[in-house]
Structure 1
Amino acid sequence: MSTDGRSAAGERAHDATGIAVEEGIRSLLLLMPRVVGRAKKMHIPEELQSFSLAPRHLSLLANLVFEGPMTVNDLAARLEVAPTTVSLMVGDLSRQGVLERRTDAADRRRTIVGIAAAHEKSVNDWLGGSARAWRAVLGPLTPEQRRLFVDTFHAYERELG
């Protein structure tokens, strides 16, 4: 299946500790649609269904579930987008009551964003399952193996773009 001129026979060669590139590609091409399909089937709790949550909202909410309340700038850095983009998302979700903003007691110029108390359990239950799955998969790996996996996933995302 080599599409870049490399020898398919050469791509199949591997030792007992790994898999060949072509075999890995084949496995991932079959696996990724199943993973995406399962992610899309994650049942949105009834109390959150009316909010028209888009994938960009899910990333923001997942960061708040995992890290807790934080500033817009911190969220922007974690999401790798501009603070104005996060401000728009936070404004949208705040108007709907999913998020709440409060002034930072330590620095009254800063605003802290968090999941609204009324929706915290639903959001945590919903998105926490994904974090639990990643924890179960990444937990047994060494720090170096985790770094390799995360770096590889980032590289794959860049190549798709």
Structure 2
Amino acid sequence: MSKEHEPGSGPEAALSTDQAIRAMLLVMPRVAARLKRTRIPERLRSFNLAPRHLSLLSYLLFDGPMPVNELAARLEVAPTTVSLMVGDLSRQGVLERRTDPADRRRTIVTITEDVETRSAIEAWLAHGANAWRRAFEQLTPDQRAMFVRTIETYEREVSGSAD
């Protein structure tokens, strides 16, 4: 079957639930395989970074410095897990920790000011961000929101933690 005859291949093609499920079951393994093959920039290769590091670095790059507890909440992991990740990446010079001047009990985490490391992190995230930009530009704001909510629901369902 040629691509132009596959359900959902046209810009205005409507899909039944079963057609959409089929399409997603076929595309998701390819997406996962491509993500696994995403090359980590040379500057970051020795740091043994995993997907969870990508999420942590994304939050810090896009949203700026934040406390460990906020990172833990966003990553949906325990603060001790984030503390271990941050400690490891701090020793490697990727992240910096500092005490919050407003509350000395809180630790604020930020990406290092080292230009080479920061540029490598930005380059690592840029490919995915650019691909999402091209995919989302063709959608309306409501369609984008629906897509994001759908993926979040799928992730919850697959993990078995649906509300």
Amino acid at match of 1:75: L
* Larger mean Cα displacement after TM superposition, 78-87 or 130-139: 130-139
The runs of 5 or more residues in structure 1 that have no matched partner are 1-15
Tell me the TM-score normalised to structure 2 length: 0.80
Give the corresponding residue for 2:4.
none
Give the corresponding residue for 2:127.
129
- The offset of 1:135, in angstroms, is 2.7
Structure 2 CA distance for aligned equivalents of residues 103 and 117 of structure 1: 17
Structure 2 CA distance for aligned equivalents of residues 146 and 126 of structure 1: 23
Identical aligned residues as a percent:
61
- The offset of 1:18, in angstroms, is 1.9
Structure 1 CA distance for aligned equivalents of residues 126 and 63 of structure 2: 12
Structure 1 CA distance for aligned equivalents of residues 27 and 67 of structure 2: 36
Amino acid at match of 1:81: V
Tell me the TM-score normalised to structure 1 length: 0.80
Give the corresponding residue for 2:53.
57
SS of match in other structure, 1:33: helix
Counterpart among 89, 96, 99 of residue 93 in structure 1? 89
Q: How many residues align?
A: 146
Q: Report Cα offsets for 1:130-158 as digits up to 9, x if no partner.
A: 12222332244333222211111111112
Listed as ranges, the matches of 1:1-161 within 5 Å are 18-118=14-114, 119-161=117-159
* Larger mean Cα displacement after TM superposition, 136-145 or 54-63: 136-145
Structure 2 CA distance for aligned equivalents of residues 92 and 25 of structure 1: 40
SS of match in other structure, 1:151: helix
User: Which entry has the higher C-alpha Rg, 1 or 2?
Assistant: 1
Tell me how large the CA RMSD over aligned residues is: 1.9
Structure 2 CA distance for aligned equivalents of residues 20 and 120 of structure 1: 44
The runs of 5 or more residues in structure 2 that have no matched partner are 1-11
